[in-house]
């Protein structure tokens, strides 16, 4: 199993409930690799000092949510050069047309235009495919927004295998069910996913937000105009704001959103309880995070150990892929 997260912006509830929380459970059941994708972070302008700081922050947060470096392999993408090299072989497998169809590329270039976009932003999904294929991963736990990138990875693996002979394991996305974290929505704009690059920070609950900030953001969450009888119900299409709150409270308390809805008739109490449950959900993570930041040696050791393990696996797969396409081994 492999998954990755970008060390950009700050982690939010969407990252946690859509991906990280599942990783923590999965690590005990699968041979798991978790990658802080610092090379992916270079696809848009980034201050070097900030990238360094965010990469460590990201590693600490992954440890704080519960990844155990003695159980799983946690590493920085740039520490394992095989990612960039396999990406090249896969760029020579992918077509311009299929990369142009990637909705994330279209969204990210909508404002600034394609001409000014970095080439890396265009080829980004191919690097993501390399991340996955290097570890023979058959399970890739991600949020719903990564579905298309996973389809591309499957297409590239299949095409490569057809062209050059069996080389890669064809992976499958493991996406939480709808209503169970697949797509957490922005609290201010409940028809858009919660995102690191959201227009307003008020709609995004960060994993490191203090309790007052969580309470304020949830209290101001946009709900729906209809407040009559039966207005608290789980109906993402007709009532996206309320449904998102029901999903959040359900995830924090281990219940289905429709089941949570049965306990409420008004928005006010739903918001109060949601905020309180989120504060409790995040409290232990925040505590561990602050302990870890006081002791940077823990993350450094985890990353060192992780890079060694990841490299030992990735180098074998890369050698196989190089052989498949006809590159000679170094004498
Ligand atoms: P990234 O860094 O944007 O997000 C990390 C994970 O969080 C999930 N996620 C969400 N889930 C539910 N609701 C949301 N609002 C929400 N927002 C984010 C994402 O789906 C993701 O699982 N391209 C990837 C990183 C990547 C990767 C990989 C993932 C690089 N290589 C290989 C898997 C395998 C990305 O930018 O994720």
Residue 330 lies in a domain: no
The pLDDT assigned to 197 comes to 83
Distance 107 CA to ligand 1 centre (A): 15
Active-site residue identified among 108, 217, 239, 271: 108
14 CB under 6 A from ligand 1? yes
- 17 and 101: one domain? yes
Residue 228 confidence (pLDDT) = 74
Same domain, 146 and 10: yes
In this structure, the chain runs to a length of 331
What confidence score (pLDDT) does residue 311 get? 98
38 lines ligand 1 (CB under 6 A): no
Q: Is residue 106 domain-shared with residue 242, that is, in the same domain?
A: no
Residue of 143, 169, 183 with the most ligand 1 atoms within 8 Å of its CB, for mutation: 143
Q: What are the tokens at 311? A: 């490299």
In a 13 Å sphere around the CA of 136, the CA atoms on its Cβ side amount to 13
Q: What pLDDT, on the 0 to 100 scale, is given for residue 205?
A: 98
Q: How far apart are CA 280 and CA 214, in angstroms?
A: 11
Task: State the pLDDT at residue 120.
Answer: 97
- Residue 301 belongs to a domain: yes
Dist. CA 152–CA 293, nearest whole Å:
37
Q: Does 65 reside within a domain?
A: yes
Residues 143 and 207 in one domain: no
Alpha helices in 220-296 (DSSP H): 240-253, 257-261, 267-293
> For a pocket test of ligand 1, which of 5, 6, 34 has the largest count of ligand atoms closer than 8 A to its C-beta?
5
Q: How confident is the model at residue 131, as a pLDDT?
A: 98
Q: Closest ligand 1 atom, CA of 2?
A: 34
Tell whether 13 is covered by a domain: yes
CATH classification of the domain holding 71: 3.40.50.620
The dihedrals phi and psi of 62, each to the nearest 5 degrees, come to -65, -35
- Rounded to 10°, the helix 297-325/147-164 angle is 40
| pLDDT on residue 242 | 97
**Within-domain flag for 18:** yes
Is 300 in the same domain as 286? Answer: no
**45 and 157, same domain (yes or no):** yes
Based on the fold, state whether residues 27 and 167 are members of the same structural domain.
Answer: yes
| DSSP 8-class letter at 72 | S
Ligand 1 proximity of 4 Cβ (cutoff 6 Å): yes
Consecutive H or E run containing 226: none
Q: Are residues 215 and 104 in the same domain?
A: no
State yes or no: is 239 an active-site residue.
Answer: no
| Closest C-alpha to ligand 1, atom 34 | 3
Amino acid 230: pLDDT: 72
Residue 58 domain-assigned? Answer: yes
Structural domain boundaries, residue 131? 2-181+296-325
How confident is the model at residue 199, as a pLDDT?
81
How many domains in the chain? Answer: 2
pLDDT (tens place) for every residue of the chain, 331 residues total: 999 999 987 899 999 999 999 999 999 999 999 999 999 999 999 999 999 999 999 999 999 999 999 999 999 999 999 999 999 999 999 999 999 999 999 998 988 899 999 999 999 999 999 999 999 999 999 999 999 999 999 999 999 999 999 999 999 999 999 999 999 999 999 999 999 888 889 999 999 999 999 999 999 999 988 777 778 999 999 999 999 999 999 999 999 999 999 999 999 999 999 999 999 999 999 999 999 999 999 999 999 999 999 999 999 999 999 999 999 998 9
Q: Which of 54, 106, 196, 309 is catalytic?
A: 196
Asked if residue 216 and residue 142 are part of one domain, the reply reads: no
Tell me the pTM. 0.97
Instruction: Find the 82 Cα to ligand 1 centroid distance in Å.
Output: 21
- Is residue 301 part of the annotated active site? The answer reads no
Active site residue 54: no
Assigned domain for 137 exists: yes
Q: Is the CB of 6 under 6 A from ligand 1?
A: yes
227 and 122, same domain (yes or no):
no
3-state SS track over 142-202? CCHHHHHHHHHHHHHHHHHHHHHCCCCCCCEEECCCCCCCCCCECCCCCCCECCCCCCCHH
pLDDT score of 112: 87
């Amino acid at each position: 199993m492999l998954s990755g997260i970008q060390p950009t912006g700050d982690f939010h509830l969407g990252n946690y409930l859509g991906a990280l929380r599942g990783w923590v459970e999965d690590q005990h059941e699968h041979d798991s690799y978790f990658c802080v994708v610092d090379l992916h972070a270079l696809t848009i302008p980034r201050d070097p000092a900030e990238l360094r700081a965010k990469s460590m922050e990201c590693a600490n947060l992954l440890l704080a949510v519960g990844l155990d470096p003695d159980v799983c392999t946690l590493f920085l993408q740039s520490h394992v050069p095989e990612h960039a090299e396999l990406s090249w072989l896969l760029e020579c497998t992918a077509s311009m047309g299929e990369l142009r169809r990637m909705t994330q590329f279209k969204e990210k270039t909508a404002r600034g235009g394609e001409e000014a976009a970095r080439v890396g932003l265009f080829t980004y999904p191919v690097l993501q495919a390399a991340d996955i294929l290097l570890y023979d991963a058959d399970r890739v736990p991600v949020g719903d927004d990564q579905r298309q990138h996973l389809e591309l990875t499957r297409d590239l693996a299949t095409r490569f295998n057809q062209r050059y002979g069996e080389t890669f394991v064809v992976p499958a996305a493991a996406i939480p069910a709808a209503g169970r974290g697949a797509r957490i929505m922005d609290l201010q704009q409940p028809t858009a996913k919660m995102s690191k690059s959201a227009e307003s920070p008020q709609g995004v609950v960060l994993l490191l937000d203090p309790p007052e900030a969580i309470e304020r953001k949830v209290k101001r969450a946009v709900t729906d105009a209809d407040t009559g009888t039966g207005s608290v119900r789980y109906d993402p299409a007709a009532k996206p704001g309320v449904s998102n709150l029901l999903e959040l409270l359900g995830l924090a308390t281990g219940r289905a959103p429709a089941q949570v809805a049965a306990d409420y008739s008004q928005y006010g109490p739903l918001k109060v309880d949601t905020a309180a449950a989120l504060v409790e959900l995040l409290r232990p993570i925040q505590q561990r995070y602050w302990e870890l930041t006081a002791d940077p040696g823990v993350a450094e050791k985890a990353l060192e150990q992780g890079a060694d393990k990841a490299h030992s696996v990735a180098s074998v797969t890369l050698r196989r892929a190089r052989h498949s396409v006809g590159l000679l081994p170094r004498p």
